[in-house]
Structure 1
């Protein structure tokens, strides 16, 4: 007769900003929350990429293109305005990188495959979206549409960092299996891409 496993309460002890901190947590609820956040972030990327493909995809003159945003939506007061306008000149390269990047990142997050690499690529994309949203520079407090400094892209960037740090690809994901293969055991550096 199988016995039901009870949630285990554990204590995390660490140093944060030079101070020792500790708190109790349930490993079961932590696993569910990490898995849930992974699925939510997968949906954010997958939905964004598939929506762009549904608009006609890359290569169709009536399709979604980054050029309109890069050339017209980044405020001139943004200290990186010139950089984004220059990206607009290469929309034929940027568009498939955004569209297929979002779809592949979403799939990797969903299935927990090459999770850390996908989270890094997603965080870099969010970094670009976040800096493009600045409506001014440091002297203005990096204003955003709905406040200062923080927007959803920044939050997504931090969530991806946390999920990668926790190794969220191992929770009901492909990475847990990949890490047990002889290839990964022979090449431990591959673990930086997995997890």
Structure 2
């Protein structure tokens, strides 16, 4: 059974007001989106780990040959691939952060930090694959980036996630986020 509460979405920016009343099932869809994106990026990261795939991840193919010349980052990505040290860092950072982002989304912990990491990765992949036409606005990696940011905006870690409990941990006479308000930027 779903119940309706006095939920309200409202935003005012640049003289424009947006208002809405979400359906009682909205929370379930936010959790479902969190779990789906978490599973997607977790398995993408696991598939890049040598202990799972049998082969070490190598980003040079994407950085050198996968980036469209029309992309505004094609020169930057080629330069990154030309540095053996930088390439090795990328080869470790990409799969490890994907696994960490996936786990964070699945458990709903440090969700805003994880969602930002996911959005940044998807934006980097989007820019690398950008071909310079209007259809690029509908590229799946850009859509994933926006979905990650939507999870952060909804505070999806507070909905059936561990962020709800982390925020309420007592530190002295205060909750964790009362004592350290900047944690609200990474939790939620």
Smaller-chain TM-score range? 0.7 to 0.9
What's 2:28 paired with?
Answer: 32
What's 2:182 paired with?
Answer: 189
Counterparts of 1:64-143 in structure 2, within 5 Å, are 64-88=57-81, 89=83, 90-135=86-131, 142-143=132-133
Per the normalisation by structure 2, the TM-score is 0.85
Unmatched segments (≥5 aa) in structure 1: 57-61, 136-141
Alpha-carbon offset, residue 7 of structure 1: 3.5
What's 1:159 paired with?
Answer: 147
Alpha-carbon offset, residue 75 of structure 1: 1.9
How many angstroms apart in 2 are the aligned matches of 1:163 and 1:148?
A: 22
Return closer, same or farther for 1:180/1:20 CA change in 2, 3 Å cut-off. same
What's 1:44 paired with?
Answer: 40
What's 1:23 paired with?
Answer: 20
Unmatched segments (≥5 aa) in structure 2: none
1:113, 1:175 within 8 Å by CA — same for their partners in 2? yes
Per the normalisation by structure 1, the TM-score is 0.83
* SS of aligned partner of 1:72: helix
Return closer, same or farther for 1:132/1:7 CA change in 2, 3 Å cut-off. same
In angstroms, what is the RMSD of aligned CA positions? 2.0
